[in-house]
Chain A
Amino acid sequence: MIGNMYDVTVIGGGVIGSAIARELSKYQMNICVLEKEEDVCSGTSKANSAIVHAGYDAMPGTLKAKLNVEGNAMMDQLSKDLEFDFKRNTSIVLCFSEEDRPNLVKLYERGVANGVPGVKILNGDEVRELEPNVSKTVVAALLAPTGGIVCPFGLTIALAENACENGVEFKFNTEVKNIAKTDEGFSVETNQGTIRSKYIVNAAGVYADVMHNMVSSKKLHIVPRRGEYCLLDKEAGKHVSATIFQLPGKYGKGILVTPTVHGNLLVGPTAVDQDDKENTATTAEGLAEACEKATLSVDGVPFRQVITSFSGLRAHEDGDEFIIGEAEDAPGFFDAAGIESPGLSSAPAIGVYLAEMIANKAVVSKKAEFKATRKGFVKAASLPVEERAELIKERPDYGTIICRCENISEGEIVDAINRPLGARSMDAIKRRVRQGMGRCQGGFCTPKAMEILSRETGIKMEEICKNRKGSELIKGEE
Chain B
Amino acid sequence: MIQHDIVIIGGGPAGLAAAVAARKAGVQDILILERDGVLGGILNQCIHNGFGLHTFKEELTGPEYAARFIEMAKEENIPYKLNTMVIDISKDREVAFINKEEGLQVIKAGAVILAMGCRERPRGALNIPGYRPAGIYSAGTAQRLMNMEGYMVGKEVVILGSGDIGLIMARRMTLEGATVKVVAELMPYSGGLKRNIVQCLDDFNIPLKLSHTVVNIHGKERVTGITIAEVGPDRKPVPGTEEYYSCDTLLLSCGLIPENELTRGMGVAMNPVTSGPMVNDKLETGTEGVFACGNVLHVHDLVDYVSEEATLAGKDAAAFVNQTEKVAGRVVTLTGENGVRYTVPQSMDIDNMNPLVTVRFRVGDVYKDRSICVYYDGKLISKMKKKVLAPGEMEQVILKKESFEEYPELKEIVIRTEEEK
Contacts and interface: CB of A to CB of B under 8 A. Distances in A.
A53 B129 CA distance: 29
Contacts of A400: 83, 85, 99-100
Given A381-B87, A392-B100, A447-B148, A284 B237 contact: yes
B122 A392 contact: no
B133 A441 contact: no
B103 interface: yes
A278 B131 CA distance: 10
Contact of B85 (A310, A401, A468): A401
Interface string B74-88: 000000000101010
A242 to B, nearest CB: 25
A411 to B, nearest CB: 10
Nearest to A441: B122
A388 B88 CA distance: 14
B145 interface: yes
B103 A399 contact: yes
Given A307-B122, A444-B141, A447-B141, A287 B153 contact: no
A281 B129 contact: yes
A378 B259 CA distance: 26
A476 B141 contact: no
A473 B151 CA distance: 10
A306 B83 contact: no
A476 B127 CA distance: 29
Contacts of A397: 100
Interface string A397-417: 101110011010000000000
Interface in A442-474: 442-444, 446-447, 451, 461-462, 465-474
A231 interface: yes
A30 interface: no
Interface string B98-125: 1111111000000000000001101111
B384 interface: no
A307 B222 contact: no
Contact of B151 (A284, A385, A392, A462): A462
A181 to B, nearest CB: 33
A466 B100 contact: no
Contacts of B120: 440, 443
A309 B136 CA distance: 14
Nearest to A397: B100
A475 B154 contact: yes
A173 to B, nearest CB: 13
A216 interface: no
Given A443-B122, A447-B141, A465 B134 contact: yes
B152 A446 contact: no
Interface residues of B, number: 49
Nearest to A285: B129
B85 A475 contact: no
Interface string B137-150: 01011001100110
Interface residues of A, number: 55
A367 interface: no
Contacts of B148: 447
B98 A401 contact: yes
B127 A306 contact: yes
B11 to A, nearest CB: 15
Please indicate which of the listed interface residues A231, A404, A465 has the most CB atoms of chain B within 10 Å of its own CB: A404
Contacts of B123: 308, 441
A163 interface: no
Interface string B34-77: 01000000000000000000000000000000000000000000
B69 to A, nearest CB: 21
Interface string A268-312: 000000000010111110110000000000000000001111100
Interface string B247-263: 01100000000010100
Contacts of B215: 284
Given A230-B127, A443-B120, A399 B99 contact: yes
Nearest to B86: A401
B222 A284 contact: no
Nearest to B264: A235
A473 B142 CA distance: 10
Contacts of A407: 87
A231 B131 CA distance: 16
Contacts of A278: 220
A443 B119 contact: yes
Q: 9 tightest A-B contacts by CB?
A: A308-B124, A470-B221, A441-B122, A466-B134, A392-B103, A401-B85, A389-B104, A396-B100, A471-B134
26 contacts: A281-B217, A282-B130, A307-B122, A307-B124, A307-B125, A308-B122, A388-B103, A388-B104, A389-B104, A392-B98, A393-B103, A396-B100, A399-B101, A405-B261, A442-B141, A443-B119, A447-B145, A447-B148, A466-B221, A471-B134, A473-B134, A473-B153, A475-B135, A475-B152, A475-B248, A476-B151
Given A278-B220, A439-B122, A440-B119, 12 more contacts: A231-B124, A282-B130, A308-B124, A399-B98, A401-B98, A407-B87, A443-B120, A443-B141, A444-B141, A467-B134, A470-B221, A478-B155
